[in-house]
Amino acid sequence: MFNMKTSKADIPKYDLEQFRAVHRMKENEALGFGYNSLDRSRFIPGFELYSSSGVVRDIGPLRSAFYRVSLTVTGTLDMQIGLEHYRHQPRTVACTFPNQIFSKNNISADAFGYYMLFKANFLDEVLPAGRLPGEFPFLSTAGVPLFCLSEEELGAVVDLVKKMDVEVRGDRPGRGRAVQLYLYLLLLEVRRSYERQRLDHPVPVAAGHALVSRFQKLVGEHFLTRRQVADYAQMLSVSANHLNKMVKEVTGKTASDGIREMLGQEAKSLLRYTDSSVAEVAYTLAFSDPASFNRFFKAETGETPLVYRNRNR
C-alpha cells in the first residue's frame, strides 16, 4: 500500500504570514479588535491577536509553524489535537505548538473568545525559544494543552488580552516590546493556573491509560514515517500485542486504527488546503497508487477524496 518515499517537507505547514486566509472569513471586516481589521502594514512581526468574531466556523485538520493560544470566554466547541479529542467550555484555555495537527468544529452560536498566534522566536528578548516548553509546559508534548481557568484567572488573562489590543491598534512607541511583555505575563498567568490545579503533577492514572496517551502523542509526531504498530511498540518498550490490547481497551479502537486516523487527517489537510491532485496527494502520502488511496480514504471517511474536497472548498 505504501512506498514510503514521502517526507515531511511534502506536507503543507502554514507559516504565520500565510495563515490569515485560512482562519478568517474576510480580510476587511470592520471588527474593532486586535488584527481583525488591522492593515497588514501595522502588524507586529511574529505575532497576531484576534477575537473569535469573523473566525471560520470549521478549521483543519492542518499543521502550523507557530504557537497558538486561545481563550474561550463563552460557548463551546470541539477540538482535536492529533488523536486526542477535547471540548472547549467557558473559561477554557487551549494551546497548540509548531508542527501539531489540529482541527476545530461544532462551534456553538454563542461561542466567543480570543486567540494569539506567535512564532517561537517572538519572545526571544524575554525568553529564548528553546526555553518556552520548559517554562510553560502546556506548550510541550508532555503537558496538558487544554484546561479551565477560574473566574478570577479568566479576568486577569482577558485584561492582558485587552492591553495587547490597545498596543497593537495604537501608535505608541515600543508597541512591539509592550506586546512581548504582555504575552509573557499572559503565559505566566496561565502557568499559575496550571500549577494551582497541579497539572504539572497529574494524578496517577492506570498504566494502560498512560501507555495509550503516550502512544497517541507518538503517533501524532511520527505517523508520516512510522505506520506499523510494531514501530510504536518498540518505542514504548512493549510488545505489539500488548499495545494493541491496551489501545483497544481504552479507546475501543485498535492501534492500527489510530495510525490510520492520523493519516486520514493528513489526507484531509492536503485535499482541503492544497491544489495537489488526488493522485499527487496519494503519492505524497506514500500510497503505491491513487486507487489504494481512494479505497483508504473512502473507508476512513465514507466519501471519496474528490467529494470531500468539493464539499470543503
**What integer pLDDT is reported at residue 274 of this predicted model?**
87
Query: How many Å apart are CA 245 and CA 233, to the nearest integer?
Result: 12
- Give residue limits of the domains in the chain: 8-196, 207-311
Q: 207-311 architecture in CATH?
A: Orthogonal Bundle (1.10)
Residue 299's contacts (CB-CB under 8 Å, 6 or more residues apart) are none
Query: How many Å apart are CA 191 and CA 194, to the nearest integer?
Result: 5
Query: Across residues 196-219, what is the average pLDDT?
Result: 80
Torsion of CA 286, 292, 293, 296, to 10 degrees: -120
Which neighbouring-strand residues pair with 72?
92, 113
3-state DSSP assignment of residue 70? strand
Inter-residue contact 123 to 174 (CB < 8 Å): no
Beta strand segments in 36-186, E: 47-51, 59-63, 67-74, 77-81, 84-88, 92-96, 101-105, 112-118, 146-148
Q: Is the pLDDT of residue 28 over 90?
A: no
Q: Looking at domain 8-196, which of 2.60.120.280, 3.40.50.620, 1.20.1090.10, 3.40.50.10860 is its CATH number? A: 2.60.120.280
CATH fold match for the domains 8-196 and 207-311: no
Of residues 74 and 81, the one with the higher pLDDT is: 74
Band the pLDDT of 216: cuts 50, 70, 90. Answer: confident
Q: Is the pLDDT of residue 173 over 80?
A: yes
Q: Is the peptide bond before 12 cis (omega within 30 degrees of 0)?
A: no
Mean pLDDT for the chain overall: 89
Which neighbouring-strand residues pair with 113?
72
Inter-residue contact 240 to 233 (CB < 8 Å): yes
Question: Helix count (H) and strand count (E) of the chain?
Answer: 11, 9
Query: Across residues 92-105, what is the average pLDDT?
Result: 92
Query: How many Å apart are CA 224 and CA 214, to the nearest integer?
Result: 17
Q: Is the pLDDT of residue 8 over 60?
A: no
Query: Across residues 65-77, what is the average pLDDT?
Result: 96
Query: Across residues 220-245, what is the average pLDDT?
Result: 89
**What integer pLDDT is reported at residue 204 of this predicted model?**
56
Angle between helices 240-251 and 255-273 (to 10 degrees): 70
Query: How many Å apart are CA 274 and CA 281, to the nearest integer?
Result: 9
Locus of grid cell 500500500? 1
CA-closest candidate to residue 95, choices 131, 133, 60: 133
Query: Across residues 49-54, what is the average pLDDT?
Result: 93
Which amino acid belongs to residue 198? R
Band the pLDDT of 3: cuts 50, 70, 90. Answer: very low
- 158 exposed, middle or buried (CB, 10 Å; 0-12, 13-18, 19+)? middle
Q: Is the pLDDT of residue 4 over 80?
A: no
How many other β-carbons are positioned within 10 Å of the β-carbon of residue 265?
23
**What integer pLDDT is reported at residue 31 of this predicted model?**
67
Euclidean distance between the first and the last CA atom of the chain, given in angstroms as a whole number? 28
Residues 200-209: tens digit of each pLDDT: 876 555 677 8
